Amino acid sequence: MKKFLLSIILLLTVSFPAGAQITLNHSSANINTAHSTALAITDTGSGQIITATERGQWGSHLTNTSNPHHVTAAQVGLGNVDNTSDADKPVSTATQTALDAKEDALSSCSDGQVKKWNAGSSQWECGTDATGGTGSTNLGYTASPTDGTVTSSSGTDATVPAADGTNAGLMLPAEKSKLFGVEENATADQTGAEIKTAYENEADTNAYTDAEKSKLNGIEVNAKDDQNASEVPFTPNGSIEATDVQAAIQEVRDEAGSGSQATETAAGIAEIATNAEVDAATDDQRFITPLKLEHAFGSGKAFNLNSDENNLKWATGTTYKAHLDGIYEPVFTKNTGFNKAFGTTSGTVAEGNHTHSDLAPLASPTFTGDPKAPTPSANDNDTSVATTAYVRSSLSKGEQENIVSVTIEDPGASEDVTVNFVNRATTITECRAVLVGSSTPSVTWTIRHGTDRSATGAEVVTSGTTTTSTTSGSDVTTFNDATIVADSFVWLETTAQSGTVTELHVTCIGSAD
């Protein structure tokens, strides 16, 4: 048996019937040499499985790219495909229809002319009017205070309206004037303080402070600092008809110079009485000075009754003391609270230092028993003594007072704010609320009260009140539980908020029960 080296790597799975035998037949001495007859695998039962010729045919078939099976386009679902180059491919029916609707290439026109369709000749022609002829269309513009009109010599005029809040358009004359009146770099968000500072920083503005303006407002019209007496106004009064101070003074001088005598009913001239005239006491056209009174009563005795009671006399010669004794003696005699003595003894009525242990002093008196005083009128506001009647009246039922007065900035939908504590039973009679805001502001609020702040409390208006007004506000006069018991807290709650709200103010008034 001949020995040879066989190196074969086979990945082959073959199934044979039971009892089959596999034989390698070769005619060459070396398996590595070319075989004159193909290497074949034979089945002892049925002969060779594949011959060398068949293997060659199989290889040729694998390398054949000319559709050896003659598969048609229709067999693979490409019945509408043909082997045509891009340059020779026809356009589709839809494309051809669209192209047929297009115009052929247009020839050029002279300057100032355009191609226009001539419906009469069914062709494009060069021209300047709608028919392609030699006519022309002239455009013009007519302005007015409210709009503008573009005019056409051969077509319909077109009106250009003024711009509005939505559409573009022309600028009106008033708007142009307003725009031209705005200085460069001006802004619309300057505050009053910024404007005031900018103005006062300018030279020679002569800006007034508030104090200076108040001082200026206090000066009357046409007032000046160099007025003389003839320029100072005077209101005519009585017999004086002058309208300025100088003329009034002159009138008084003139009347005084006329020598008319003063009487008890008419103004005029009166001389000072002499000592002799004072002693005689017969002239009713003289007046007495303090010095003449001193002469009449004696030196150092003009008004001192204690010095010499007999020196002060009536015109009849009766002394004032004797005159008063005759009138007031019964009063002094019967009234033990007074001393009728007019001497200089300490403790007399004349000295003014008599003490009365049974009377209260004027300074810081202390009253006992049940002292009385006049009851001041309602709403009195001075230093009068407030009697018990006045106090009870002021605190009586029906006096109106603010039970709630609160302002909340930027309120939300769940505010809870304590606004008051009432120490006596009170009934709410009216609530007013108003908003500050924009973009449809709305706040739903309610007032609650109770002796326990941590509890739910009683609601004045069930489910609250919704306020949307930024002008007159809400006025609530119908309540579900408006009676607040004594020693109760009062608080405000919000339950809903929408829109832009920067401030909520609520005031409720009521009266003591």
- The answer on 304 and 244 residing in a single domain is no
- The answer on 414 and 481 residing in a single domain is yes
Residue 238 within any structural domain of the chain: yes
- The answer on 500 and 432 residing in a single domain is yes
- The answer on 48 and 30 residing in a single domain is yes
Which of 333, 358, 384 lies at the terminal end of a domain, its last residue?
A: 333
- The answer on 507 and 406 residing in a single domain is yes
Residue 98 within any structural domain of the chain: no
| Strand-pair category, 426-450 with 483-484 | antiparallel
Torsion region of 133: left, alpha or beta (phi above 0 gives left; psi -120 to 50 gives alpha): beta
- The answer on 493 and 454 residing in a single domain is yes
Which runs of E-coded beta strand occur in 211-320?
A: 271-272, 286-287
Which of 315, 333, 351 lies at the terminal end of a domain, its last residue?
A: 333
Residue 451 within any structural domain of the chain: yes
Contacts of 216 (CB under 8 A, 6+ apart): 208
- The answer on 303 and 254 residing in a single domain is no
How many structural domains comprise the chain?
4
- The answer on 409 and 480 residing in a single domain is yes
Residue 117 within any structural domain of the chain: no
Say whether pTM exceeds 0.75: no
Residue 362 within any structural domain of the chain: no
What is the pLDDT at residue 5?
Answer: 39
Mean pLDDT by 10 residues, the chain (513 residues): 38 47 44 41 51 79 82 80 79 84 72 74 70 63 88 84 88 86 77 81 78 82 71 73 78 67 74 84 80 69 46 54 54 43 45 58 80 84 83 63 88 95 91 94 96 95 95 94 94 96 94 79
- The answer on 278 and 255 residing in a single domain is no
Q: Measure the CA angle with vertex 285, ends 283 and 290; round to 5°.
A: 85
What is the pLDDT at residue 385?
Answer: 86
Residue 45 within any structural domain of the chain: yes
- CATH number for the domain harbouring residue 500: 2.60.120
| Structural domain range at position 461 | 400-512
CA distance 505 to 209: 33
- The answer on 295 and 250 residing in a single domain is no
CA distance 144 to 139: 17
Which of 12, 37, 53 lies at the terminal end of a domain, its last residue?
A: 53
Residue 278 within any structural domain of the chain: yes
- The answer on 301 and 240 residing in a single domain is no
Residue 180 within any structural domain of the chain: no
